[in-house]
Protein backbone atom coordinates (compact mmCIF):
# COMPACT_ATOMS: atom_id res chain seq x y z
CA UNK A 1 0.00 0.00 0.00
CA UNK A 2 1.23 3.49 -0.87
CA UNK A 3 0.33 6.15 1.69
CA UNK A 4 -1.99 8.96 0.51
CA UNK A 5 -2.29 7.39 -2.95
CA UNK A 6 -5.78 7.21 -4.50
CA UNK A 7 -6.44 4.22 -6.77
CA UNK A 8 -9.13 4.95 -9.35
CA UNK A 9 -10.59 1.65 -10.57
CA UNK A 10 -12.31 1.69 -13.96
CA UNK A 11 -13.78 -1.53 -15.43
CA UNK A 12 -14.30 -1.38 -19.20
CA UNK A 13 -15.82 -3.64 -21.83
CA UNK A 14 -15.75 -2.57 -25.50
CA UNK A 15 -16.11 1.04 -24.45
CA UNK A 16 -16.20 3.99 -26.84
CA UNK A 17 -12.67 5.38 -26.72
CA UNK A 18 -13.77 9.02 -26.95
CA UNK A 19 -15.87 8.55 -23.80
CA UNK A 20 -13.03 6.84 -21.93
CA UNK A 21 -10.52 9.51 -22.96
CA UNK A 22 -12.81 12.22 -21.59
CA UNK A 23 -13.12 10.27 -18.34
CA UNK A 24 -9.34 9.87 -18.10
CA UNK A 25 -8.78 13.55 -18.94
CA UNK A 26 -11.12 14.56 -16.09
CA UNK A 27 -9.00 12.44 -13.74
CA UNK A 28 -5.70 13.84 -15.01
CA UNK A 29 -7.07 17.36 -14.36
CA UNK A 30 -7.65 16.66 -10.64
CA UNK A 31 -6.19 19.22 -8.22
CA UNK A 32 -4.94 16.30 -6.09
CA UNK A 33 -2.09 14.69 -7.99
CA UNK A 34 -1.20 11.55 -6.03
CA UNK A 35 -3.28 8.91 -7.78
CA UNK A 36 -3.10 5.92 -10.08
CA UNK A 37 -5.70 4.93 -12.69
CA UNK A 38 -6.33 1.18 -12.82
CA UNK A 39 -8.21 0.27 -16.01
CA UNK A 40 -9.50 -3.31 -16.08
CA UNK A 41 -10.28 -4.58 -19.57
CA UNK A 42 -12.98 -7.19 -18.93
CA UNK A 43 -12.50 -9.24 -22.10
CA UNK A 44 -12.98 -6.53 -24.73
CA UNK A 45 -12.44 -7.13 -28.44
CA UNK A 46 -8.89 -7.03 -29.81
CA UNK A 47 -9.29 -3.55 -31.30
CA UNK A 48 -10.53 -2.10 -27.99
CA UNK A 49 -7.73 -3.82 -26.07
CA UNK A 50 -5.13 -2.33 -28.42
CA UNK A 51 -6.59 1.15 -28.01
CA UNK A 52 -6.45 0.79 -24.23
CA UNK A 53 -2.72 0.16 -24.51
CA UNK A 54 -2.39 3.49 -26.33
CA UNK A 55 -4.42 5.33 -23.67
CA UNK A 56 -1.95 4.40 -20.96
CA UNK A 57 0.70 6.35 -22.87
CA UNK A 58 -1.10 9.54 -21.79
CA UNK A 59 0.38 9.36 -18.30
CA UNK A 60 2.67 7.07 -16.32
CA UNK A 61 0.00 6.84 -13.60
CA UNK A 62 -2.33 4.88 -15.92
CA UNK A 63 -2.16 1.08 -15.69
CA UNK A 64 -4.12 -1.33 -17.91
CA UNK A 65 -4.92 -4.95 -17.09
CA UNK A 66 -6.51 -7.38 -19.56
CA UNK A 67 -8.57 -10.34 -18.36
CA UNK A 68 -11.32 -12.65 -19.58
CA UNK A 69 -14.90 -11.43 -19.40
CA UNK A 70 -16.44 -12.13 -15.98
CA UNK A 71 -18.63 -9.08 -15.39
CA UNK A 72 -18.27 -5.68 -13.74
CA UNK A 73 -18.21 -6.96 -10.15
CA UNK A 74 -15.27 -9.28 -10.77
CA UNK A 75 -13.52 -6.56 -12.79
CA UNK A 76 -13.80 -4.05 -9.93
CA UNK A 77 -12.52 -6.61 -7.43
CA UNK A 78 -9.65 -7.47 -9.79
CA UNK A 79 -8.77 -3.78 -10.07
CA UNK A 80 -8.73 -3.45 -6.31
CA UNK A 81 -6.46 -6.49 -5.92
CA UNK A 82 -3.98 -4.95 -8.38
CA UNK A 83 -4.10 -1.44 -6.90
CA UNK A 84 -1.72 0.14 -4.40
CA UNK A 85 -3.69 3.08 -3.02
CA UNK A 86 -4.51 3.86 0.59
CA UNK A 87 -7.83 5.15 -0.76
CA UNK A 88 -10.12 3.68 -3.43
CA UNK A 89 -12.35 5.43 -5.97
CA UNK A 90 -14.65 3.55 -8.36
CA UNK A 91 -15.62 5.15 -11.67
CA UNK A 92 -17.28 4.11 -14.93
CA UNK A 93 -15.30 4.79 -18.07
CA UNK A 94 -18.06 6.80 -19.78
CA UNK A 95 -18.56 9.25 -16.88
CA UNK A 96 -16.51 12.30 -15.86
CA UNK A 97 -15.24 13.67 -12.54
CA UNK A 98 -15.17 17.26 -11.33
CA UNK A 99 -11.62 18.64 -10.84
CA UNK A 100 -11.77 19.00 -7.05
CA UNK A 101 -13.26 15.54 -6.30
CA UNK A 102 -10.08 13.95 -4.91
CA UNK A 103 -8.73 16.97 -3.01
CA UNK A 104 -12.11 17.74 -1.47
CA UNK A 105 -12.74 14.10 -0.60
CA UNK A 106 -9.38 13.37 1.02
CA UNK A 107 -9.55 16.57 3.06
CA UNK A 108 -13.00 15.73 4.45
CA UNK A 109 -12.18 12.07 4.99
CA UNK A 110 -9.15 12.94 7.11
CA UNK A 111 -10.74 15.84 8.99
CA UNK A 112 -13.70 13.67 10.01
CA UNK A 113 -11.67 10.46 10.51
CA UNK A 114 -14.20 8.83 8.16
CA UNK A 115 -14.01 5.39 6.57
CA UNK A 116 -16.05 6.51 3.56
CA UNK A 117 -16.72 9.97 2.18
CA UNK A 118 -19.49 10.57 -0.37
CA UNK A 119 -20.15 13.54 -2.64
CA UNK A 120 -23.06 14.36 -4.94
CA UNK A 121 -23.62 13.28 -8.53
CA UNK A 122 -25.40 14.89 -11.46
CA UNK A 123 -27.25 12.89 -14.11
CA UNK A 124 -26.51 14.67 -17.38
CA UNK A 125 -25.61 14.37 -21.05
CA UNK A 126 -23.08 17.21 -20.72
CA UNK A 127 -19.49 16.07 -20.21
CA UNK A 128 -18.08 19.55 -19.53
CA UNK A 129 -16.59 19.88 -16.04
CA UNK A 130 -14.70 23.17 -16.40
CA UNK A 131 -17.63 25.20 -15.05
CA UNK A 132 -17.69 23.30 -11.75
CA UNK A 133 -15.93 25.16 -8.94
CA UNK A 134 -15.66 24.11 -5.29
CA UNK A 135 -17.72 26.10 -2.80
CA UNK A 136 -15.87 28.43 -0.44
CA UNK A 137 -17.94 27.04 2.44
CA UNK A 138 -18.55 23.34 1.98
CA UNK A 139 -21.45 21.77 3.82
CA UNK A 140 -20.72 18.34 5.26
CA UNK A 141 -22.36 15.84 7.60
CA UNK A 142 -20.86 12.94 9.53
CA UNK A 143 -23.63 10.36 9.77
CA UNK A 144 -24.70 9.25 13.22
CA UNK A 145 -25.91 5.72 13.86
CA UNK A 146 -29.55 6.87 13.73
CA UNK A 147 -28.91 8.34 10.23
CA UNK A 148 -28.03 4.94 8.79
CA UNK A 149 -31.67 3.81 8.56
CA UNK A 150 -32.45 6.86 6.40
CA UNK A 151 -29.27 6.12 4.41
CA UNK A 152 -30.49 2.57 3.71
CA UNK A 153 -33.96 3.86 2.80
CA UNK A 154 -32.37 6.34 0.38
CA UNK A 155 -30.53 3.49 -1.35
CA UNK A 156 -33.90 2.28 -2.59
CA UNK A 157 -35.96 5.45 -2.96
CA UNK A 158 -33.59 8.45 -3.49
CA UNK A 159 -36.09 10.56 -1.52
CA UNK A 160 -34.89 10.59 2.09
CA UNK A 161 -33.99 13.73 4.07
CA UNK A 162 -32.35 16.45 1.93
CA UNK A 163 -30.35 13.90 -0.05
CA UNK A 164 -32.63 13.70 -3.10
CA UNK A 165 -32.48 15.76 -6.29
CA UNK A 166 -32.17 19.50 -5.64
CA UNK A 167 -33.11 22.47 -7.85
CA UNK A 168 -29.85 22.05 -9.79
CA UNK A 169 -30.49 18.37 -10.49
CA UNK A 170 -27.75 17.11 -8.17
CA UNK A 171 -28.26 14.40 -5.56
CA UNK A 172 -26.60 11.85 -3.33
CA UNK A 173 -26.88 8.43 -4.96
CA UNK A 174 -26.13 6.00 -2.16
CA UNK A 175 -27.16 3.07 -4.36
CA UNK A 176 -24.05 3.46 -6.51
CA UNK A 177 -20.36 3.39 -5.70
CA UNK A 178 -19.75 6.63 -7.61
CA UNK A 179 -18.62 9.88 -5.93
CA UNK A 180 -17.16 7.86 -3.04
CA UNK A 181 -13.69 7.67 -1.54
CA UNK A 182 -13.20 4.52 0.53
CA UNK A 183 -10.35 3.58 2.84
CA UNK A 184 -8.48 0.57 1.53
CA UNK A 185 -9.25 -1.64 4.55
CA UNK A 186 -12.98 -1.05 4.02
CA UNK A 187 -12.80 -1.73 0.27
CA UNK A 188 -10.94 -4.95 1.01
CA UNK A 189 -13.72 -6.17 3.31
CA UNK A 190 -16.60 -4.91 1.16
CA UNK A 191 -15.98 -6.28 -2.32
CA UNK A 192 -18.57 -6.65 -5.07
CA UNK A 193 -20.70 -9.78 -5.44
CA UNK A 194 -19.35 -12.07 -8.14
CA UNK A 195 -21.77 -12.83 -10.99
CA UNK A 196 -23.94 -9.74 -10.46
CA UNK A 197 -23.55 -7.11 -13.19
CA UNK A 198 -26.77 -5.14 -12.55
CA UNK A 199 -27.79 -4.37 -8.97
CA UNK A 200 -24.27 -5.06 -7.70
CA UNK A 201 -24.05 -1.46 -6.51
CA UNK A 202 -27.22 -1.85 -4.41
CA UNK A 203 -25.74 -4.86 -2.63
CA UNK A 204 -22.46 -3.03 -2.07
CA UNK A 205 -24.27 0.01 -0.65
CA UNK A 206 -26.21 -2.20 1.78
CA UNK A 207 -22.94 -3.83 2.87
CA UNK A 208 -21.20 -0.55 3.70
CA UNK A 209 -24.26 0.84 5.54
CA UNK A 210 -24.84 -2.26 7.66
CA UNK A 211 -25.55 -0.98 11.17
CA UNK A 212 -23.46 -3.66 12.85
CA UNK A 213 -20.34 -2.65 10.88
CA UNK A 214 -20.69 0.97 11.97
CA UNK A 215 -18.44 2.53 9.33
CA UNK A 216 -17.93 6.28 9.72
CA UNK A 217 -19.59 7.85 6.65
CA UNK A 218 -19.21 11.54 5.84
CA UNK A 219 -21.40 13.33 3.28
CA UNK A 220 -20.02 16.33 1.38
CA UNK A 221 -22.60 18.55 -0.35
CA UNK A 222 -20.52 19.10 -3.49
CA UNK A 223 -20.87 17.69 -7.01
CA UNK A 224 -17.98 15.28 -7.60
CA UNK A 225 -19.27 13.06 -10.39
CA UNK A 226 -21.19 13.48 -13.65
CA UNK A 227 -23.17 10.33 -14.40
CA UNK A 228 -23.54 10.48 -18.17
CA UNK A 229 -26.89 9.37 -19.60
CA UNK A 230 -25.74 7.03 -22.35
CA UNK A 231 -28.28 5.33 -24.63
CA UNK A 232 -25.75 2.63 -25.44
CA UNK A 233 -25.29 1.55 -21.85
CA UNK A 234 -26.00 -1.85 -20.30
CA UNK A 235 -29.46 -0.64 -19.26
CA UNK A 236 -30.52 0.41 -22.78
CA UNK A 237 -29.29 -2.34 -25.09
CA UNK A 238 -30.86 -5.80 -24.98
CA UNK A 239 -29.20 -8.16 -22.49
CA UNK A 240 -30.48 -11.76 -22.67
CA UNK A 241 -29.25 -12.53 -19.15
CA UNK A 242 -30.69 -9.40 -17.48
CA UNK A 243 -33.83 -11.12 -16.04
CA UNK A 244 -31.69 -13.86 -14.46
CA UNK A 245 -29.12 -11.38 -13.13
CA UNK A 246 -31.77 -9.14 -11.56
CA UNK A 247 -33.60 -12.14 -10.13
CA UNK A 248 -30.40 -13.22 -8.39
CA UNK A 249 -29.65 -9.65 -7.28
CA UNK A 250 -33.15 -9.32 -5.82
CA UNK A 251 -32.72 -12.52 -3.80
CA UNK A 252 -29.43 -11.26 -2.36
CA UNK A 253 -30.86 -7.81 -1.60
CA UNK A 254 -33.84 -9.39 0.15
CA UNK A 255 -31.53 -11.59 2.23
CA UNK A 256 -29.54 -8.50 3.20
CA UNK A 257 -32.54 -6.50 4.46
CA UNK A 258 -35.08 -9.10 5.62
CA UNK A 259 -36.19 -8.33 9.14
CA UNK A 260 -35.72 -4.57 8.64
CA UNK A 261 -39.39 -3.60 8.66
CA UNK A 262 -38.67 0.10 8.19
CA UNK A 263 -37.17 -0.59 4.76
CA UNK A 264 -40.20 -2.42 3.32
CA UNK A 265 -41.84 0.49 1.45
CA UNK A 266 -38.59 1.69 -0.06
CA UNK A 267 -37.65 -1.89 -1.01
CA UNK A 268 -40.91 -2.29 -2.96
CA UNK A 269 -40.18 1.01 -4.74
CA UNK A 270 -36.87 -0.52 -5.82
CA UNK A 271 -38.48 -3.82 -6.89
CA UNK A 272 -40.75 -2.10 -9.39
CA UNK A 273 -37.87 -0.05 -10.78
CA UNK A 274 -36.02 -3.32 -11.44
CA UNK A 275 -39.09 -4.98 -12.97
CA UNK A 276 -39.46 -2.01 -15.31
CA UNK A 277 -35.81 -2.47 -16.29
CA UNK A 278 -36.56 -6.08 -17.19
CA UNK A 279 -39.64 -5.04 -19.18
CA UNK A 280 -37.65 -2.28 -20.88
CA UNK A 281 -35.01 -4.86 -21.76
CA UNK A 282 -37.63 -7.03 -23.49
CA UNK A 283 -38.90 -3.96 -25.35
CA UNK A 284 -35.44 -2.90 -26.57
CA UNK A 285 -35.26 -2.40 -30.33
CA UNK A 286 -32.60 -5.09 -30.66
CA UNK A 287 -34.54 -7.75 -28.70
CA UNK A 288 -35.13 -10.64 -31.17
CA UNK A 289 -38.04 -12.23 -29.25
CA UNK A 290 -41.66 -12.16 -30.37
CA UNK A 291 -44.25 -10.56 -28.09
CA UNK A 292 -45.57 -14.01 -27.17
CA UNK A 293 -42.07 -15.17 -26.24
CA UNK A 294 -41.45 -12.07 -24.13
CA UNK A 295 -44.69 -12.66 -22.22
CA UNK A 296 -43.85 -16.33 -21.73
CA UNK A 297 -40.34 -15.64 -20.42
CA UNK A 298 -41.57 -12.88 -18.10
CA UNK A 299 -44.28 -15.21 -16.75
CA UNK A 300 -41.67 -17.88 -16.09
CA UNK A 301 -39.35 -15.42 -14.33
CA UNK A 302 -41.97 -13.81 -12.09
CA UNK A 303 -43.05 -17.24 -10.81
CA UNK A 304 -39.58 -17.97 -9.45
CA UNK A 305 -39.28 -17.97 -5.67
CA UNK A 306 -37.29 -14.72 -5.54
CA UNK A 307 -40.22 -12.79 -7.02
CA UNK A 308 -43.19 -15.01 -6.17
CA UNK A 309 -42.67 -14.77 -2.41
CA UNK A 310 -42.51 -11.00 -2.27
CA UNK A 311 -45.25 -10.36 -4.83
CA UNK A 312 -47.83 -12.67 -3.26
CA UNK A 313 -47.06 -12.40 0.46
CA UNK A 314 -50.18 -10.61 1.71
CA UNK A 315 -48.61 -9.80 5.07
CA UNK A 316 -45.42 -8.20 3.75
CA UNK A 317 -46.74 -6.24 0.74
CA UNK A 318 -47.51 -2.62 1.77
CA UNK A 319 -51.09 -1.57 1.07
CA UNK A 320 -50.12 0.97 -1.62
CA UNK A 321 -48.30 -1.72 -3.61
CA UNK A 322 -50.89 -4.52 -3.53
CA UNK A 323 -52.62 -3.61 -6.82
CA UNK A 324 -49.30 -3.10 -8.56
CA UNK A 325 -48.16 -6.54 -7.40
CA UNK A 326 -51.23 -8.09 -9.01
CA UNK A 327 -50.62 -6.30 -12.33
CA UNK A 328 -46.90 -7.14 -12.51
CA UNK A 329 -47.45 -10.84 -11.75
CA UNK A 330 -48.56 -11.55 -15.33
CA UNK A 331 -46.77 -11.52 -18.66
CA UNK A 332 -49.57 -9.29 -19.96
CA UNK A 333 -47.66 -6.40 -18.40
CA UNK A 334 -45.29 -6.73 -21.38
CA UNK A 335 -48.22 -6.23 -23.76
CA UNK A 336 -49.39 -3.22 -21.76
CA UNK A 337 -46.03 -1.42 -21.92
CA UNK A 338 -45.53 -2.37 -25.60
CA UNK A 339 -48.93 -0.91 -26.46
CA UNK A 340 -48.20 2.24 -24.47
CA UNK A 341 -44.87 2.71 -26.25
CA UNK A 342 -46.57 2.30 -29.64
CA UNK A 343 -49.28 4.79 -28.68
CA UNK A 344 -46.68 7.38 -27.64
CA UNK A 345 -44.75 6.98 -30.88
CA UNK A 346 -47.91 7.48 -32.93
CA UNK A 347 -49.23 10.36 -30.85
In angstroms, the CA 176 to CA 199 distance is: 9
pLDDT (0 to 100) of residue 136: 74
Q: What's the whole-model pTM score? A: 0.90
pLDDT (0 to 100) of residue 124: 83
Contact 181, 100 (CB under 8 A): no
pLDDT (0 to 100) of residue 145: 85
pLDDT (0 to 100) of residue 347: 65
2-228 architecture in CATH? Answer: Alpha-Beta Complex (3.90)
In angstroms, the CA 170 to CA 158 distance is: 11
> DSSP class of residue 191?
P
pLDDT (0 to 100) of residue 314: 64
* Residue 344 φ then ψ, to 5°: -65, -40
- Which residues of the chain, if any, have pLDDT below 70? 230-236, 314, 347
Domain boundaries of the chain, sorted by first residue: 2-228, 242-346
pLDDT (0 to 100) of residue 113: 97
pLDDT (0 to 100) of residue 236: 64
Amino acid sequence: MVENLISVIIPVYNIKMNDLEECIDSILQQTYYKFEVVIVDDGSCTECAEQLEKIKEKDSRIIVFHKKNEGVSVARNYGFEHSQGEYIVYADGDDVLTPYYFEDGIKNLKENRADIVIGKIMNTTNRTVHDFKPSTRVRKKLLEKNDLLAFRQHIFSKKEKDWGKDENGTLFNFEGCWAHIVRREVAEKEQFTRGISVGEDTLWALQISNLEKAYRICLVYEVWYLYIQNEGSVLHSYKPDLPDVLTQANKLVYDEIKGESKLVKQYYDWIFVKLRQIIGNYLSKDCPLTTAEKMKYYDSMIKQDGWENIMRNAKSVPREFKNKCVVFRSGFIILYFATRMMWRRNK
